[in-house]
Amino acid sequence: MIHTCKYYFIKNPKIVSSSYPYSFDSALHKWCIGKTRFALSQLICKYWITENLNSTSILPKLYKCDAKKVNLINKVISFNELSMFATFAEDITLETITVKDTDGSILPFEKVFEAFINAKKYGFYFYLTLPKITSKTFNELLKIPHFSKLQSFSLKNIPDTFDIESFYTYMKKNKTTKFYLIFDKSVSEAHKNRLEEMIDEIRSTKVSSFQIPFIDFPRL
């Protein structure tokens, strides 16, 4: 299409692609298409991604994104950048991603999730950079209509501030979402003791009417 419309393309350089074709070759220490070196700085076009968004390096060159699968890692992005790919995404994994609001502040965790209005599977892995998670975060998630419709919800390296009591109350009524919760090694002994009590209660339930979660933390 670009070859047959080359005159139009010069005036309006945009490429429609199922995914971002560039990757970083660690052996060559260069960005490549396959094994061919390519300098991103030379890229004059913008991209319209239709299926999979798996690179944060494309965000400055993103024209439009209809991708249903989003997998991003290790980046500080703006809320405007998030808005470009959040609408159509259904299967989302964000790892060490920090989203900044229009005023430069870090966007709360529930606000990041809220942007993904069609989410079916959602995973967020915390490492060095954390969105704001407070004792109110889980209750704020419950107010978001598409949270209760999720097929799966995964969190890794969860801090102490996550309200496990609100989660446990909700979990015992939850029949839709499979929860995968992996807590950070820094969580307090009181937190670990309460988690262990919850797990014992779940295991003692002979007939469960709810989705049994996966819970992991240091010691168990």
Question: What's residue 210's pLDDT?
Answer: 92
Q: Please indicate, yes or no, whether residues 131 and 215 belong to a single structural domain of this protein.
A: yes
Q: Please indicate, yes or no, whether residues 119 and 196 belong to a single structural domain of this protein.
A: yes
Q: Please indicate, yes or no, whether residues 134 and 174 belong to a single structural domain of this protein.
A: yes
- Take residue 125 and report the two structure tokens written for it: 């892995």
For 146-185, how does the pLDDT look when each residue is reduced to its tens digit (9 = 90+)? 999 999 999 998 988 899 999 999 999 999 999 999 998 8
Q: Please indicate, yes or no, whether residues 154 and 82 belong to a single structural domain of this protein.
A: yes
86 closest CA partner among 54, 118, 63, 50: 118
Question: What's residue 127's pLDDT?
Answer: 67
Question: What's residue 87's pLDDT?
Answer: 94
C-beta of residue 79 within 8 angstroms of C-beta of residue 107: yes
Q: Is 84 helix (H, G, I), strand (E, B) or coil?
A: helix
How many structural domains does the chain have? 2
> End of a domain among 25, 46, 66?
66
Question: What's residue 38's pLDDT?
Answer: 73
